[in-house]
Structure 1
Amino acid sequence: MSDLAKTPVTVITGFLGSGKTTLIRHLMQNPQGRRLAVLVNEFGTVGVDGDILRDCADENCPAGNIVELANGCICCTVADDFIPTIQALLAREPRPDHILIETSGLALPKPLLKAFDWPEIRSRITVDGVVALADAEAVAAGRFAPDPEAVEAQRAADDSLDHETPLSEVFEDQISCADLILLTKADLAGEAGLAAARKAIAAEAPRPIVMLAVTDGAVDPRVVLGLNAAAEDDLAARPSHHDGADDHEHDDFASAVIALPEIADGAALADAVAALGREHKVLRVKGHVAVAGKPMRLLVQAVGARVRQQFDRPWGEAPRQSRLVVIAERGDLDPAAIAAHLGGSVEVSDL
């Protein structure tokens, strides 16, 4: 790569649990000869996604090329976190051929694109493309894609009502900013679900956007990387609910870290975590748990009432600490009640 060439950056956005980390793991395992670097932005004080990706580090993407920024939206902390991190990645030898940025599930991508115009980096990097991941099964069920005609009819009937939830605004901003949309968990959605998801997203999209169905992050890297969108120069075509605002906040959401004792039964924990989505309106749960008699960590990830568990790697010399990050809309998060439900204690809360 010429020292004068701009390093391409792919921004990977999508709602909580849509499969961003799974996609990045696939890209790391199939780099097509590229030297990759990864910047992971977490919501909550305990990083999980970065840890998962570091387990996949290799010569094409060594552990030093994987950087995690936790407990702070990178588009809200541009000067303090984002710019210095990008500069550090560009200074690595050898320099990465391509940088992947995994945003928080709560992030708005457009303010991040604006950051690429900062003088310190605008001559050195370009946004190759914005890839938005959408959980096809959830979208097909109408969770984050409201019917525009129905919403407008309700607004016309009562001007005092606001029928767009914070979650829908996040989802719509991510879709509006995308160059490519991946409909994830296609195997769970089925053909009918995929068709419904495509229709719902097309109704929200400001322009025609290519949509591809994906299962377990398996997509040809040539489709995702090398879009050459120069998205930082195309902001007008990417409308946002927050256009015209000086900044944005994530005060609609809150997180807590729940410390757990060593457990005896992973199935019982899965049932308890699933109940959080049904009974406590929890959006996302992720973390590692120690299971009695097991030398490996149990990775727990949940979206609503849907829970996935797997043993990912041995604890080794790391402390066998069981901690789960729980995310919900601010008015719905009750850390004490959630800790009691799980049989643990509140370690950290941003309420």
Structure 2
Amino acid sequence: MRPLAAQGKIAATIITGFLGAGKTTLLRHLLEQVDGRRIAVIVNEFGSLGIDGDTLRACGIAGCRDEDIVELANGCLCCTVADDFLPTIERLLDRPEPPEHIVIETSGLALPKPLLKAFNWPTIRPRLTVDGVITVVDAPAVVDGRFADDPEAVAAQRAADPSLDHDNPLAEVFEDQLLSADLVVLNKTDLLDEKQLAAVEAMIAGETRGQARILQADHGRLDPRILLGLGAAAEDDLDTRPSHHDGADDHEHDDFESFVLDLPEYDSVDECVSRLTHAAREHDILRMKGFAAIKGKNRRLGVQAVGARVRHEFDPVHGGSGRLVIIGQQRLNRAAIAAALGAP
């Protein structure tokens, strides 16, 4: 393949992956190592509160300017391509000094293929190419069986009533993200042993295209030379990237919902983590992310939860009240979750 410069195109990288896989962490490490290269970032989130964009703006990375981080909240790019994505890309390309590379972090519930199709839009195809699709996988979540139905239970149900619909919305989104990938990053490998890692890698290998490379990572730490420069031109080989939604007119997220809670000031970090863990276990929450205020601390506490696994660290930003995005499948008991978190 010819170098991108010879084609006269700017390269774009799509980072996708299910809720809580570690996309923003991987992106932050990438930005820390680009050595002055002009990188623009588009962050898309499911829900109206832009936690990931806020996290990147507060990263303190030299050369990471606020104006180079564009946030598209309250809408999934795979559903709002014409309204949100295309105008945003055109504005970046029309800058007097356009970026050298554009990185797009999709919502954890996004299907990559509709976004890939947008790169064939007449106004951007001559100017932009998809260097690669990187799918980040939460390896411990795969071990826990989060993305797969119980095969024996499904077989029994089908035997009893073959007309039943056994579609699993989590598995469907996860599989679409894998099938679009040029590179799969098995993240959070520090939480698994060698036997578990081997099982996860074998499972992922069976779900991806033959061309996709699989790498292991701890906290999203990978050399940017691996992540940027894949040269895939993914917009040109859409047929090799099948989707559950090929031929569909649109893609809805009716199986999922999100809402935002204002959090109280907690007496300690332990109290905050304990409440998050309890709420996740009792109400089958998929994902929580946001910031909490801790009594006696002048910095806000960044919190991230995948299921009942909670990670936290104090953010460089001083002060601020606590707010949390909560994402789960439909019919979340919002009042009970608020009570469990001590929210007003």
Cα displacement string for residues 247-302 of structure 1 (whole angstroms, at most 9, x for unaligned residues): 10111110111112222122111111112221101000011111121110111110
- Do the aligned partners of residues 94 and 156 (structure 1) sit closer, same or farther apart at CA in structure 2, a change above 3 Å counting? farther
- Using the TM superposition, give the Cα deviation of residue 327 of structure 1 relative to its aligned residue in structure 2, in angstroms: 0.4
Alignment pair present for 1:339 and 2:326:
no
Q: What is the CA-CA distance between 1:152 and the residue it aligns to?
A: 7.1
Question: Structure 1 pair 188/207, CA: closer, same or farther in 2 (3 Å)?
Answer: same
Q: Secondary structure at the match of 2:206?
A: helix
Which amino acid in structure 1 is aligned with residue 54 of structure 2? D
The equivalent of 1:190 in structure 2 is 193
Unaligned runs of 5+ in 1: 346-351
Pick one of 127, 134, 138 that aligns with 2:130: 127
Look up the equivalent residue of 2:201 and give its one-letter code: R
1:111 maps to 114
Query: Distance in 2 between the 1:269 and 1:24 partners?
Result: 26
What per-residue deviation string (whole Å, max 9, x for no partner) do you get for residues 65-116 of structure 1? 1011101011211222111111111223422111110000010111111111
Question: Quick check: 197-206 or 75-84, which moved more?
Answer: 197-206
Which residue number corresponds to residue 325 of structure 1?
Answer: 325
Cα deviation for residue 154 of structure 1 reads 6.2
Q: 2-side partners of 1:71 and 1:115: how far apart? A: 19
- Note the alpha carbon deviations across 1:201-235, whole angstroms, 9 max, x for none: 12322435211000011111111111111111111
Task: After TM superposition, list the pairs within 5 Å mapping 1:16-27 onto structure 2.
Answer: 16-27=19-30
* Offset at residue 150 of structure 1 (A): 8.7
Aligned residues between the structures: 341
Q: Is the 8 A contact 1:36 1:60 kept in 2?
A: no
In 2, Cα distance between equivalents of 1:303 and 1:119? 39
Please say if 1:252 is aligned against 2:270. Answer: no
Provide, for residues 22-70 of structure 1, a one-character-per-residue CA deviation record: whole Å limited to 9, x for no partner. Answer: 0001110111552111000011111111011112365644221101110
Deviation at 1:142, TM superposition (A): 2.1
Q: What secondary structure, in the 3-state scheme, does the structure 2 residue paired with 1:204 have?
A: coil
Structure 1 window deviating more from structure 2 (76-85 vs 142-151): it is 142-151
Aligned to 1:265: 268
SS in 1 for 2:192: helix
Query: Which deviates more, 147-156 or 232-241?
Result: 147-156
Structure 2: give runs of 5+ residues left out of the alignment: none
**Equivalent in 285, 289, 303 of residue 288 of structure 2:** 285
**Per-residue deviation, 1:334:** 1.4
TM-score, normalisation: structure 1: 0.91
1:314 aligned to which of 290, 310, 317: 317
Q: Which residue of 2 aligns with 1:88?
A: 91
Deviations 1:131-190 (A, max 9, x none): 001111111232214588996786466422333310000000000010010000011022
**What is the CA–CA distance in structure 1 between the aligned matches of 2:333 and 2:153, rounded to whole Å?**
32
| Matches of 1:200 and 1:4, distance apart in 2 | 37
Letter in 2 for 1:297: R
Residue matched to 1:203: 206
> Over aligned residue pairs, what C-alpha RMSD do you find?
2.1
Percent identity, aligned pairs only, is 59
